[in-house]
């Protein structure tokens, strides 16, 4: 890729960009390659150059890639994991299960039962569901409506919500205009003594995610028209982020 003039992204090792009058963007996953750009002729030239060095099979316009189905219409591209979802349901013998809008909801899991004698199938299904969440963020609130080309992020935390060790859960979602492009929900590594501390750590984690996305945009020569906006619903956390002077009770979160 480098010999063909491409530059490897410093933020994503699988991303290569050829800058010029019409950029060519390439994503590489093992032996699967996704090529895109505003000029189809330049993309075909790259495929031809690559075929001179390696056996390449051109599958044409994108229809299926790494579990994602792509459909085209007059409005653009529609990506969905229907086939992947059905395969996962069949694997778990739940093809006829009744759907629900919000899986799990407020139900609390009970870990007091006996351990599985063979957890391989369980782990395999859970791993498949983790991959599925990349295109089915059912727990994210699609509330952002932006009229200009802007990057917006929402941060939240469930303070001491995990009943076993009282660790908090960080939740975030990042939008490019009205499009959800990144999201995450993860337990924090330490116990927060207040909701302010939990929210502040979630804010720092979201800020790091925004920074990484901006670096990827820079690699593909994509410039934002405005500074990214980070939203938080905790007044104490916002005050703490706005005050450059840290007090004795907040020194333990100063790194964040």
CB atoms within 10 A of CB 200: 24
Q: pLDDT-derived band of residue 8, with 50, 70 and 90 as boundaries?
A: very high
Share of the chain above pLDDT 90, in %: 29
Select the highest-mean-pLDDT range: 57-66, 112-121, 197-206, 234-243. 197-206
* For range 12-36, the mean pLDDT: 90
* For range 175-184, the mean pLDDT: 85
CB atoms within 10 A of CB 176: 19
Structure tokens at 97: 């299960």
Report the pLDDT value the prediction gives residue 108, as an integer from 0 to 100. Answer: 59
pLDDT for 103 beyond 80 = no
DSSP 216-248: HHHHTT---SS--EEEE--HHHHHHHH--S--G
Strand partners, 171: 156, 185
Report the pLDDT value the prediction gives residue 161, as an integer from 0 to 100. Answer: 84
For residue 167, give Cα distances in angstroms to 22, 52, 90, 127, 175. Answer: 48, 54, 35, 23, 27
Q: pLDDT-derived band of residue 244, with 50, 70 and 90 as boundaries?
A: low
For the chain, give the mean pLDDT.
82
* Structural domain boundaries in the chain: 2-59, 61-96+125-136, 139-256
Instruction: Tell me if the pTM is above 0.85.
Output: no
pLDDT for 231 beyond 50 = yes
C-alpha span between 169 and 201 (Å, rounded): 10
Report the pLDDT value the prediction gives residue 137, as an integer from 0 to 100. Answer: 65
Given a contact cutoff of 8 angstroms between Cβ atoms, the answer to whether 167 and 160 are in contact is: yes
pLDDT for 211 beyond 80 = yes
* CATH code for the structural domain at 139-256: 3.30.420.10
Given a contact cutoff of 8 angstroms between Cβ atoms, the answer to whether 7 and 1 are in contact is: no
């Amino acid at each position: 890729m480098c010999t063909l003039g491409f530059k490897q992204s410093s933020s994503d090792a699988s991303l290569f960009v050829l800058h010029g009058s019409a950029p060519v963007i390439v994503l590489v996953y093992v032996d699967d390659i996704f090529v895109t750009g505003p000029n189809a002729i330049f993309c075909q030239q790259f495929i031809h150059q690559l075929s001179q060095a390696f056996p390449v099979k051109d599958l044409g316009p994108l229809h299926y890639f790494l579990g994602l189905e792509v459909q085209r219409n007059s409005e653009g591209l529609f990506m969905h994991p229907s086939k992947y979802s059905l395969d996962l349901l069949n694997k778990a013998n739940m093809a006829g299960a009744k759907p629900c809008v919000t899986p799990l909801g407020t139900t609390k899991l009970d870990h007091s039962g006996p351990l599985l004698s063979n957890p391989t199938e369980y782990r395999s299904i859970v791993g498949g569901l983790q991959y599925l969440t990349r295109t089915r963020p059912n727990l994210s609130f699609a509330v952002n409506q932006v009229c200009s080309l802007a990057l917006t992020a929402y941060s939240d935390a469930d303070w001491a919500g995990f009943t076993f060790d009282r660790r908090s859960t960080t939740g975030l979602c990042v939008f490019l205009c009205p499009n959800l492009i990144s999201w995450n929900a993860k337990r924090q590594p330490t116990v927060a003594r207040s909701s302010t501390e939990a929210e502040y750590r979630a804010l720092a984690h979201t800020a790091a995610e925004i920074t990484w996305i901006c670096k990827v945009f820079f690699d593909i020569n994509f410039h934002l028209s405005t500074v990214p906006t980070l939203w938080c619903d905790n007044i104490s956390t916002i005050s703490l982020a706005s005050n450059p002077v840290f007090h004795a009770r907040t020194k333990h979160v100063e790194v964040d």
